[in-house]
Amino acid sequence: MFHHFCAPMSAAFPAVVTSVKYHLAPEHHFTTTYDDTVEALDVRATIAYFMGLRAIDMARDLEPLKIRGLILCQVFFGGTQRCESEIRLKDDEVVPLCVIDMFWELALPVGVNRDHEYCNLRVEKWVGKLGMMKELGWRVLVSGNDGDPVIDREKDLVVLLEEKGVDVVSDFDIDGCHGVEYADESKANQLILVVKRFVS
């Protein structure tokens, strides 16, 4: 399903689109996934966010490759404090709250909670790096759907980026759920147009 989403995106504008087959939980926790994507410079979901933060440290070493920004579609964050959208959509058909909790339990290092740096957007270790995105001239696209239980966390990311002076473009659709673009061709085409405008 990811291939069928990436193929029309790569045809829509002049870009190389990669989809990395990264290691999965529970056998491999997030650090392995981030290493896989940094190695391939893939850009997807929360993985893209942390890949971007790691790439900040190596941005000047990537010459002649120049990172111009991040595209974050349905970025997935959490925390021990429930946000309004998680409570409102606790019984969501795609990713109910019990599945979100299980996801984090399987993905995070053993013995930590959802306020860990790989889950909670507001952990200071990463927040401090966001200002460097501004210094490097990066633009960030954050896209999501109001039917996604983590939509409030995605909107909080936009606020945080704006607070740091990062050039951020937000695209929040009132319709759709988490991953809707993989099953609904019209939603996929809509997202591709948003990404195309952003890249152009």
pTM, rounded to two decimals:
0.84
Q: In this predicted model, which residue has the larger pLDDT, 153 or 66?
A: 153
pLDDT in tens, 5-59: 888 888 888 777 776 677 676 777 666 666 666 565 433 467 778 778 888 888 7
Q: In this predicted model, which residue has the larger pLDDT, 112 or 9?
A: 112
* Assigned token pair, 127: 């927040």
Q: In this predicted model, which residue has the larger pLDDT, 12 or 148?
A: 148
Half-sphere exposure of 186 (CA within 13 A, CB side): 3
> Based on the structure, what is the number of domains in the chain?
1
Q: In this predicted model, which residue has the larger pLDDT, 80 or 64?
A: 80
Percent of the chain with pLDDT over 90: 52
What CATH number is attached to the domain comprising 82?
3.40.50.1820
- How do the residues of the chain divide into helix, strand and coil, expressed in percent and rounded to 5? 50, 10, 40
User: For residue 155, what pLDDT band results from cuts at 50, 70 and 90?
Assistant: very high
The boundaries of the domain holding residue 173 are: 2-199
pLDDT at 66 over 90: no
Report the chain's mean pLDDT, rounded to a whole number.
86
User: For residue 93, what pLDDT band results from cuts at 50, 70 and 90?
Assistant: very high
Residue 189: Cβ within 10 Å count: 14
